[in-house]
Amino acid sequence: MTELEHYIASYLGIGKFDELVQIVSFFKLSTIKKGEYFLKTGKNCDKLSFIKSGFLRIFAASEKEEVTQWIAGKGYFVTDLSSFIFDNPARWTIQALADSELYTISSEDYKKVGTIVSKWHELEKQFIVRCFTLVEDRIFTHLSMTAEERYHYFFEHNKELFNQVPLQYIASMLGMSPETLSRMRRK
């Protein structure tokens, strides 16, 4: 199995191997250079990508500053889900934090998958429910933890990010100032 087959099988639980191969064949490998934009707020997000290597930052502008919603690395899917599914204007801007390799499916091809794979909508739903649960958990961390606890929790689960991504973005994503993150790291 290729890497992408492996990930899609484990995320979506595609049972039949020939279906899996068909799905994967829709994804095209491309690269994006550090600093380039995958998506800008207001545009339509017509693609869903799987990160083979590199990092992408999902963020939006608030009144005062940029707010980093998430940083996605190897093995993550990236898209503006609402824009991708409903053809809304995107709420997020997505930018490469490093040269990255992406397997990308267009929304056009994505729609075809439903006609090819039996139970696709069921599997897709289940995948989105898992995403929903993760985001819900993240709210819980904001309701029940201090900044320092969030830092530790995140650090334990995402060590790889800390050497490869500017810390200011991690701070924003954790809901604290860069100075505060810096001080917590010292300990």
Partner DNA sequence: AACTATTCTTGATAAATATCAAGAATTTCA
Partner DNA sequence: TGAAATTCTTGATATTTATCAAGAATAGTT
State the residues that interact with DNA by CB under 7 A: 34, 146-148, 166-168, 175-183, 185-186
Q: Does 167 bind a second copy (CB under 8 A)?
A: no
Report the partner that residue 116 touches, choosing among a second copy, DNA, none (CB closer than 5 to 8 A by kind): none
Which window, 6-14, 48-56, 167-175, 177-185, contacts a second copy (CB under 8 A)? 167-175
C-beta separation of 23 from 8 below 8 A: yes
Q: If you ran DSSP here, which 8-state letter would residue 35 be given?
A: T
What is the dihedral angle through the alpha carbons of 138, 139, 145, 150, rounded to the nearest 10 degrees? Answer: 30
Q: Applying CB under 8 A, which of residues 8, 27, 52, 68 lies at the interface with a second copy?
A: 68
99-138 footprint of a second copy as x/- string (CB under 8 A): ---------------x------xx-xxx-xxxxxx-xx-x
DSSP conformation letters of 47-111:
EEEEEEES-EEEEEE-SSSEEEEEEE-TT-EE--HHHHHH-PBPS-EEEESS-EEEEEEEHHHHH
Q: Applying CB under 8 A, which of residues 4, 81, 98, 147 lies at the interface with a second copy?
A: 81
* 87: CB partners within 8 A, 6+ apart: 44, 107
Report the partner that residue 60 touches, choosing among DNA, a second copy, none (CB closer than 5 to 8 A by kind): a second copy
Identify any residues that bridge with 68 across adjacent strands, giving them in sequence order.
Answer: 59
Cβ neighbours of 95 (radius 10 Å):
20
Least distance in angstroms from the C-beta of 31 to a second copy? 27
One-letter amino acid of 124: E
Catalog residues that contact a second copy under the rule CB under 8 A. Answer: 60, 62-64, 67-69, 81-82, 85-86, 91, 114, 121-122, 124-126, 128-133, 135-136, 138-140, 142-144, 172-173, 175
